[in-house]
A and B are shown apart, each in its own frame.
Chain A
């Protein structure tokens, strides 16, 4: 017997440790559940961390109103299966209440409107820690993110004022009104996620697998056709075989042409990938520093 862990086992052990720390150190932590594979993996890990007790965190979904139907169906089924509480923060409501603004025009997204909605949901429910599925390999600005990421009382992230994280000692102490974002899968890569999904047989929304869909090609991005998208004069709707590599808002999540219909196909595709997964999200392409700016404002 050699006493060593294979890398996925070690990553799992680390994430479970972080989830248990969050539970122990915070009074009212929640999981930000987007319906994407990363937050599904976080939820799966949380179930494992507390088994046979029930998952002790509510799932919070920031609902832009521009969701894929598949995401919502999947979410509701999962919540039921694991017996978790679901909290929905509605972007539409935030817009109606004047908390957030709806963008206009062909490039309109509800991405920025998510920020005030999220902060409002956190405040209303008095969550003191919101756990998310962000990974450091996703994007440059995330490479420096901590497991326990401190936010001031405006929900802002100050890259210059983050606490150093040493060994496995996480400092979740905070003043009244401040809160934390916690990222249990910080050290996972996209490939780790897919391999783990396969190893653990984790169910995913069907959007991840190749299917036929009406799409619009815009710049380098393939967008799903939906009532929320405004066609430019030269654009037309076509039917293609695609799948999604990340799942977010209908209006910004780019699809890729793909025949990958099983996890093995997807893993092979990821291994040969020529683009990082966020590479086809329209929101990141607005500017190179787009992600960083949104993070400062309180984006996940």
Chain B
């Protein structure tokens, strides 16, 4: 099987049909195994259902099975002859903004579910805001349960207009609308016979044709060094390979590069991918680089092209989503991890907190609870080499870590 990898996330409020939709995608694309099917058929019968409840497929942990809701990010896999898909399945419940942000952080696309009977609701706005904040390049708005509105075009068009109205205020590059019935299978994998008025692609067809590679930043070469390979053998006596994964851009042999923070310059002598030598390499490859000159580079340093450098500062403006049990505090101190670099950071200012219901700014706050989103200013103990999150998801993101229990408490996006 050839083809690229597409990572997508799913969001919808409880009972919009998210689990059913994922189950349907897996089932119709023939990604369910016999023993899995047998297990859910069994459970469906036990629950006294007539049809197979596909939502059981995506049910994870036992506690949740008992509660009957999903409460964390779960990853699912399926593939078609054209592509491999990774679904980050996140719950729609209000308190779990943290999970959607987590799932969205690595996603190329987001599926947002809307119940055709209810139209755009607060949850829809919240999910779309997060998709926009996390800069998910493609949003597929699935208007579900079309069977319950007689597959009417009018119902679909009305919701589409509603959505467009409020999405105009967001920063989503590409969104599409698909009328579906997850339960009956209309327009999920197979084209619906009940909605002849819809000429667009099915959900699966859309997922198969989203341009993944185009979303990567191929312009600004950024390479965060993870570790230095020093074989200490006779054969590789003076070998120093700077190992890392290319965050963005393209590197070629002979390129003039600068190491940060030292500002030392050199040229690329060799590019290795394990035992292979490459002429050029690009994101998101994991490689190691040898330079012409023996300059001092270690973990946390960044190699960039001399003519195209990132910002370099200890004072950073960012949006942050809070995930810690203890509220974020003005002047609070946290560990920060950004690319392979770590240090400490202090929250210098909470510019505003986002009211997720009204999508409005609230100023004058000095703390923020779990699942809150705010614009902040931080100061770090060590300079960071970064780009805006909008231009570069890898060098524009960071996490904050609680210094007492070491939990990841904040997800930051640099402005």
Contacts and interface: CB of A to CB of B under 8 A. Distances in A.
A binds B: yes
Contacts of B268: none
A143 B22 CA distance: 14
Given A51-B275, A165-B102, A175-B406, A10 B226 contact: no
Interface of A: 2-7, 9-14, 16-17, 20-21, 23-24, 47-54, 136-137, 140-141, 143-144, 159-160, 162-169, 171, 173-175, 186-187, 189, 191-192, 195, 273-276, 279, 288-289, 292
Contact of A174 (B2, B76, B230, B406): B406
B70 to A, nearest CB: 9
A173 B335 contact: yes
B286 A163 contact: no
B5 A11 contact: yes
Contacts of B367: none
A51 B236 CA distance: 11
A20 B244 CA distance: 8
Contacts of B4: 4-7, 10
B168 interface: no
Contacts of A165: 102, 408
Contact of B5 (A10, A162, A174, A276): A10
22 contacts: A3-B213, A4-B212, A5-B5, A16-B245, A17-B226, A20-B227, A47-B274, A53-B230, A140-B61, A144-B60, A164-B99, A165-B102, A166-B408, A168-B394, A169-B337, A171-B406, A173-B401, A175-B405, A175-B406, A275-B35, A288-B39, A289-B62
B231 A3 contact: no
List of 5 A-B pairs having minimum Cβ-Cβ separation, nearest first: A4-B213, A274-B34, A48-B274, A173-B406, A16-B286
B286 A144 contact: no
Nearest to B101: A166
B284 A10 contact: yes
Contact of A159 (B59, B61, B335): B61
A178 B360 CA distance: 42
Interface stretch (B79-87, B110-118, B257-265): B79-87
B312 interface: no
Given A6-B2, A140-B59, A159-B72, 18 more contacts: A5-B5, A6-B3, A7-B3, A9-B285, A13-B245, A13-B284, A20-B286, A52-B236, A143-B74, A144-B74, A164-B98, A164-B323, A169-B338, A171-B337, A171-B408, A187-B77, A192-B84, A292-B62
Interface in B68-123: 72-77, 79, 83-84, 86, 89, 98-99, 101-102, 105-106
